[in-house]
Each structure stands twice: as structure tokens, then as C-alpha cells.
Amino acid sequence: MGPGPPAAGAAPSPRPLSLVARLSYAVGHFLNDLCASMWFTYLLLYLHSVRAYSSRGAGLLLLLGQVADGLCTPLVGYEADRAASCCARYGPRKAWHLVGTVCVVLSFPFIFSPCLGCGAATPEWAALLYYGPFIVIFQFGWASTQISHLSLIPELVTNDHEKVELTALRYAFTVVANITVYGAAWLLLHLQGSSRAEPAQDISISDQLGGQDVPVFRVGMLYMTTRLIVNLSQTYMAMYLTYSLHLPKKFIATIPLVMYLSGFFSSFLMKPVNKCIGRNMTYFSGLLVILAFAAWVALAEGLGVAVYAAAVLLGAGCATILVTSLSMTADLIGPHTNSGAFVYGSMSFSDKVANGLAVMAIQSLHPCPSELCCRACVSFYHWAMVAVTGGVGVAAALCLCSLLLWPIRLRRWDRDPRP
């Protein structure tokens, strides 16, 4: 005899997503990842070393972008959740994704292009004002795409391990995007270096969220510190390689490339490692790798060829904590998918503003704000790299300890009180 029909009232378990559907989702953030790689890795270097703006001016533009992004994320999340009953055919998530993509495509090219109409006599403040509107439009578009894309995870899958797998696939395409950027940068810099020989020594460069849910956002602090480590290390890696280690300019492409290749291969281990030791210990292991990198950089006089091994450590550690923290956020949302975009937006708010303020603080401490570089830059970027990985890594470890001591427990609220 067969097993018989399912019990009355039993909801059928959702079918797992097909491979095509999973890959289609994972590639949906590819353009954002390309732009984010350029933004965090090369914006300060471009504005300060190429366009010759002051370090404070360059930091101010990055701060403007981060504040704009931070303000847009909760607003976009709220509107995307509120529009759940609209856009029935296309869907509110995909509609916001499309709007964001259009804004990014139309604004981002102007950020890395010379100021139109600016000349040698144009004051710096006027040039900075020129870039401001493009940065705000770009960050609004980037936030719209990011929040709508992230909020699809708890709607597409409900199983915890499938959430990790979907997040890991998403991160894998993030790595592919970064490899594309750094590979293109290496090729262009290599060809440029081949066309004109330079002396070796001349190297330049809950259905409703409310006040009762405040304790839940301790995941929020963990997410913020995670993004600080990932984004700030990416931002200052090029400066560290150029001004502290005095490496040729091709290294600002090859070292980030090694980091993201390491992260790419590490992302495939996330699902089995999470199954084996759990979310918290997976995150902690990633933190240990990052702290090992920070200790190595702090104690070493000069890394030399070992900089590649250090890049492997940083890439693997950043991939581990980023994928795990995003999976924790999806766990936080759980079945309350109608508030998913707002949760991601609220958490991203602290992340974006903190990143911008951190960069502005570091740039304000720069020992030679009016020059491209001086002797003090050697130790400045050395300790900046130690601080953004080791210092913030310790803060992330403290946040993780608070979650281990006082774990988050989601409350269920049923509309129907009957059993």
C-alpha cells in the first residue's frame, strides 16, 4: 500500500530552486559588484593621486556617497515592502531592481571621468560640487538594486542551508565581478607599463517592526563591523601597497585579484562548513584568519613576495564573515518576508554611514593632506591597514560574543490563535 494522501491542512514542502533559477538570482547583482569594486578600491586613489584633489576633498566625496547610500537603503527598503501589493505582474523587488540598475548605468561613468568644463584654474570645491549629484544618483541606484536583490533571498528559499548556498552563489559572482575589474586594471596597467619604460625606482601612484524589536538589531552591529572590515580593507589596500610597501603599480590590480580569487574558492566551502560547525563558529573562524593577517602586517617590516600569502588570508577571511553575516540576516527575517527589504535597508544604513565616517576620519588624520605622498605616508597607511582589519576585527569578535551570550530568539505571531 502506498503512504496515502497527506494529512489535511498539511502544507506541502516548497520545491528547491532549480540550478538555472539559482544562477539567475546570483548574477542579478553583478553590475553593482563591478561598480562597488571600482568605488572602494580605486576612488580615493583616482581622486587623490590621478586628479590631484586634496585627501580631505577625496574623503569628503566618498563620505557623501556613503551617507547618501545609508540614507537611501532604509527608505528603499520601506517603499519596496510597502509596494508589495503593487507591481503584480513584474513584482516590487524586480521593479526596484530595474530602477536602481538604470540609475547606476546613467551616473557611474561620470564619477571616473574628468570634470566636464573644468580647467587648471577651476577651484577644487567647484570640481567636487560637479561630482556630487552623480554620486548621489549612483548611490540611490546602488542601494535600490542591493536591497531589492537581498530581500529576494528569504522569499525564494526557506531552508537555512539553501539560504547559505544562495548567498554563497551570490558572493561567488561578486568575486567574478571583482576579478573582472582587477583583471582589466592589471591588463591596462601592464600594457601602459610596457609602452613606456620607467626606472624601477620611479614608482608613482515579525510582521510589523517596532520598538520591541530593538534587541534583534544586535545582528545589525555584527553586519556593520563585517562591512567595515571588507570595505575599508579594500579601500586602503591600494594605498598600502603603493605608499607603504612601495610596490609597482601593477600590484594594485594583482593583489586585490588574489584576494578575490581566495574569497571565490572559500565561498564554495561555506555550505559544508556551516553544516559542520554552525553559523557562529564559521564567522569566528573567518575573524581569526583576518586577525592573523592584521598581526602579520603589524609585525612584519616588509612583506615582499609574502604579500601574496597575506592577500590569500585576507580574501578568505573577508569572504567567510561576509557570507555568514548575510546568512544570519536572512535567518533574522525568517518567514516575515514582507519586511525583508526594510530589515536589509536598516542594517545597511549603519553600514554605509559607518564606512563613510571611517574613511573621512582616516583621511583627516592623513599626515600630508596637500601632497600626493611624503615619508609619513609609509607608516600611516601601514597602521591604517592594521586598524581597519585588526581593530575592527576585535570589535566584530565582541559583537559575536554578545550573540553567543544572549542569542536572538525570534517571536512568532499568529493571526489565528487556534492551534
> How confident is the model over 126-176, as pLDDT tens digits?
888 899 999 999 999 998 888 888 888 877 777 777 777 888 888 888 888
Contacts of 51 (CB under 8 A, 6+ apart): 114, 127
pTM: 0.62
What's the whole-number mean pLDDT along residues 336-344? 61
What is the arithmetic mean of pLDDT over 62-87?
Answer: 77
Exposed/middle/buried for residue 35 (C-beta within 10 Å: 0-12, 13-18, 19+)? buried
Checking if the pLDDT of 301 tops 80, the result is no
Residue reference for cell 553544516: 275
More confident call, 355 vs 62: 62
pLDDT(43) > 80:
yes
Q: What sign does the CA torsion over 136, 141, 144, 145 have?
A: negative
The predicted model gives 199-217 an average pLDDT of: 40
| pLDDT score of 15 more than 90 | no
pLDDT at 303: 78
Q: How confident is the model at residue 83 (pLDDT cuts 50, 70, 90)?
A: low
Give the residue-averaged pLDDT of 32-51.
83
Mean pLDDT of the chain: 75
Contact partners, residue 388, CB within 8 Å, separation at least 6: 228, 229, 232, 233, 235, 236, 358, 362
* 338 against 225, higher pLDDT: 225
Evaluate whether 134 touches 111 at the Cβ level (below 8 Å): yes
Residues 358-378: b if buried by 16+ CB within 10 A, e if exposed:
bbbebbeebeeeeeebeeebe
Question: Model confidence at 340, in pLDDT bands (50, 70, 90)?
Answer: low
Is residue 207 predicted with pLDDT exceeding 70? no
Q: What is the pLDDT averaged over residues 32-61?
A: 83
If you search the block for the grid coordinates 601597497, which residue do you land on? Answer: 241
Alpha carbon separation from 370 to 1, 54, 274, 398 (Å, rounded): 84, 5, 48, 37
**Closest to 233 measured CA to CA, from 306, 290, 176:** 290
Torsion angles phi and psi, residue 120, rounded to 5? -65, -30
Most confident of 103-117, 161-175, 176-190: 103-117
Residue 208 reports pLDDT greater than 70:
no
Between these two residues, 188 and 171, which has the higher pLDDT value?
171
Interval 202-221 mean pLDDT: 44
Would you say residue 360 has pLDDT above 90?
Answer: no
